[in-house]
């Protein structure tokens, strides 16, 4: 990786990187929780990583490495915090790494869709969760 390709993530503080990473990971978890199932969880976990693997090294670095913010509270609070994190992440990237905003949004959304499709067909609840994620990413 060249110096210039490392700059976007270097421009973010540790807290900002955690916000961007947490938003991406929690978006997939939100979709997985829309239709919980024990064996489905394993399939969904692997599916969430497919979109990340296809991303540029810069976006991969944004969404991997380090622990995400752990959810707390009830389901409504967790969902609300996830949407807040998604909006914050897009805002951070718009300010500090605008060249990565669209790809980040695409990877997060694609990962959420992969999670929904992993176990069986995408359910109405999963589709609704994806629509909310898409709305949060749009700002």
Question: How does residue 39 score in pLDDT terms, banded at 50, 70 and 90?
Answer: very low
C-beta separation of 96 from 16 below 8 A = yes
Per mean pLDDT, which range of 28-42, 59-73, 107-121 is the poorest? Answer: 28-42
pLDDT, tens digit, 9 for 90 and up, residues 83-93: 999 999 999 99
Burial class (CB in 10 A: 0-12, 13-18, 19+), 73: exposed
Query: Residue 40: what pLDDT?
Result: 52
Best CA proximity match to 117, nearest among 25, 55, 35, 27:
35
Alpha helices in 11-123 (DSSP H): 14-34, 38-53, 57-63, 75-96, 101-119
Query: What are the residue ranges spanned by the domains of the chain?
Result: 3-138
pLDDT, tens digit, 9 for 90 and up, residues 41-56: 545 555 567 778 889 9
């Amino acid at each position: 990786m060249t110096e210039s390709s490392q700059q976007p993530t270097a421009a973010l503080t540790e807290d900002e990187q955690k916000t961007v990473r947490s938003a991406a990971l929690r978006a997939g978890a939100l979709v997985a929780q829309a239709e919980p199932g024990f064996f489905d969880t394993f399939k969904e976990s692997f599916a969430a990583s497919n979109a990340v693997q296809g991303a540029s090294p810069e976006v991969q670095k944004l969404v991997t490495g380090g622990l995400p913010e752990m959810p707390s509270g009830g389901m409504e609070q967790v969902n609300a915090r996830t949407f807040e994190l998604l909006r914050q992440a897009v805002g951070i990237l718009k300010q500090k790494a605008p060249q990565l905003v669209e790809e980040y949004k695409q990877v997060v959304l694609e990962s959420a869709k992969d999670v929904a499709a992993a176990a069986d067909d995408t359910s109405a609840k999963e589709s609704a969760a994806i629509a909310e994620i898409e709305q949060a990413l749009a700002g």
